Amino acid sequence: MNCIAITGCAGLIGSHIVSKYLELGYLVVGIDSLIGGYRTNLPIHSNFEFFELDILDTNTLKAIFEKYNPSSVIHCAALAHEGLSVFSPKTITESIYIGTLSVASAAISSGVSLFVNTSSMARYGDIEPPFNETDTPRPADPYGLAKFHAEQQLNLLSDIHGIKVFHVVPHNVCGPHQCYSDPFRNALSIFTNRVIH
């Protein structure tokens, strides 16, 4: 059975990707710290293995990847607090940049062939919309800069180690499984909390 590993599997994007790959018949290994995602977003399924884990724990990630041998890693985990990044740049940068490198290091050392990285529209920063993939990013805050630097580091690791890397760049995603309890994260949650208060 083909195996795929998904970080941030309890969050909005990750949880939907988990469901799709289970539907396609994959063994899915899910990794999430449950800081920004909900356990209720996780499926109860015989082909789903969940690990509550901080992605900064590279050694445990490596052990998981070596045990399950996923062909691909889809990396959705991040502290998605763009506004907070201005006040806590270390926390956000560590989660996004170092966290991405931790997952990538474990994937490379375990022989994973494909790494799909979830970036952010924050990478574009001070560019006149609509954004285009050929635009040169100009991040305007530590969150966007960390996302952009993570992309650059992954591209370099791809050149060095041969792991295939793809970046996806969501733009204000919303829907079922969204974290509405956090009044400072994602546009819909911010608007909802402002209306409530």
Catalytically annotated residues = 143
DSSP letters spanning the chain: --EEEEETTTSHHHHHHHHHHHHTT-EEEEEE-SSSS-GGGS---TTEEEEE--TT-HHHHHHHHHHH--SEEEE------TTGGGT-HHHHHIIIIIHHHHHHHHHHHTT--EEEEE--GGGTBSSPSSP-TTSPPB--SHHHHHHHHHHHHHHHHHHHH--EEEEE---S--STT---S-TTSSHHHHHHHHHH-
154, 167 Cβ separation under 8 angstroms: yes
Q: In this structure, how many other beta carbons lie within 10 angstroms of the beta carbon of residue 110?
A: 19
